[in-house]
């Protein structure tokens, strides 16, 4: 009987300790995530990136968001979205495709995955545009854009950006 009571006491202690430690351990990733948001270098880089982007200083804004992303361990979705948009605005289409692929490896929601595909499609479509007026679009890049938009629409069928831009791509491919 005494041995049973002692065993019960040990079990209660073990479960109490587990009840204290498990929430603390599971909160570590959340705390680590918050830590870089509180980092002054991160905050400054984000602020600089926003101001520079508004001033259309795209190269400098890209550098600022890249710095913030480095502080975040290279996995900050907020920074990567801004980097993608700035790369597209700056005409750095190959970089935008690569950043969209990196973004896609980090995301979990269908909306985020569709955004990554749509961004890839936008970059391919804009890169396909002819440099001289009257010249034709690059068909291989249009096909890549079409594939990216179709992938986005498979994930999120009502994605307005993907629907509209895929229509533009299909028009240039002569399929509409």
Q: What is the pLDDT of residues 101-140, one digit of tens each?
A: 999 999 999 999 999 999 999 999 999 998 888 788 999 9
**pLDDT attached to residue 37:** 86
More confident residue, 10 or 154: 154
Please name the residue ranges forming H helices in 27-159. Answer: 28-38, 40-54, 58-71, 77-90, 93-106, 110-128, 139-155
Q: What Cα–Cα distance (Å) separates residue 87 from each residue in 21, 32, 66, 96, 166?
A: 44, 28, 11, 5, 20
Q: Any residues with CB less than 8 A from the CB of 80 and at least 6 apart, and which?
A: 69, 99, 102, 103, 106
pLDDT beyond 90 at 1: no
More confident residue, 4 or 99: 99
pLDDT, tens digit, 9 for 90 and up, residues 55-96:
999 999 999 999 999 999 999 999 999 999 999 999 999 999
pLDDT beyond 90 at 19: no
- pTM score over 0.85: no
Q: From CA 135, how far away is CA 7, in angstroms rounded?
A: 84
């Amino acid at each position: 009987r005494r041995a049973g009571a002692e065993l019960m006491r040990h079990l209660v202690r073990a479960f109490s300790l587990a009840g204290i430690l498990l929430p603390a351990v599971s909160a570590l990733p959340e705390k680590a995530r918050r830590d870089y948001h509180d980092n002054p270098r991160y905050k400054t880089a984000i602020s600089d990136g926003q101001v520079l982007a508004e001033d259309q200083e795209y190269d400098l804004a890209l550098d600022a968001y890249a710095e913030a992303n480095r502080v975040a361990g290279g996995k900050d979705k907020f920074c990567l979205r801004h980097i993608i948009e700035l790369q597209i605005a700056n005409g750095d289409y190959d970089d935008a495709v690569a950043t969209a692929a990196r973004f896609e490896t980090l995301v979990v929601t269908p909306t985020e995955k569709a955004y990554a595909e749509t961004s890839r499609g936008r970059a391919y479509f804009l890169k396909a545009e002819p440099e001289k007026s009257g010249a034709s679009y690059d068909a291989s890049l249009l096909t890549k854009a079409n594939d990216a938009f179709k992938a986005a629409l498979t994930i999120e069928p009502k994605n307005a950006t993907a629907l509209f831009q895929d229509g533009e791509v299909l028009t240039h491919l002569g399929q509409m």
